[in-house]
Amino acid sequence: MPLRCLLVDDNDAFLEAARVLLEREGMQVAGMASNIAGALRQVRALRPDVILVDIGLGEESGFDLARLLAADGQGGQRAQRRRADVILISAQAETDYTDLIAESPAAGFLPKSELSAQRISQILNRQLRAGQPRFQLAGIAIGRLPGRRGQAHARS
């Protein structure tokens, strides 16, 4: 089953370009949002595997959204399902946000210029190797790891 993602960015042209690129590479773009409220609604409705969040969402902050998503994932209604991974994205350099990224609950950071299914997989695999309960990636098709504590078995 392809990795399902939600794209969150306040730039419509970027959203469309990213959707085309990621779908061409085998990912499923389940939805797109341009602000925090829209992203929260879509996450709850679509339950994506990964959420790509622009750090600068106009007047809003992608860091705030990452924290809200992490807090939302702790609630009772989502207890039966694993929280989606958040990857922060930006046209700015990672060094511009190093401390904020490190303090955020995000799985990692990806420059927009390097956006690809492969780079997303690398970030999620890094979380897996670090012992965090994340997805195991085989190419772009993924399944959950059976037998690991705190995780569901592979989806069919």
Helix or strand or coil: residue 81?
Answer: coil
pTM of the predicted structure, to 2 decimals: 0.78
pLDDT-flagged residues of the chain (< 50)? 74-80, 132-156
pLDDT of residue 84: 84
Strands (E), the chain: 4-8, 28-33, 50-54, 56-57, 60-61, 85-90, 108-111, 136-138, 141-143
d(CA 149, CA 154): 13
Tokens of 124: 């999620």
Helix or strand or coil: residue 21?
Answer: helix
pLDDT of residue 27: 96
pLDDT of residue 2: 85
pLDDT of residue 72: 77
pLDDT tens digits for range 115-144: 999 999 999 888 766 654 443 333 433 333
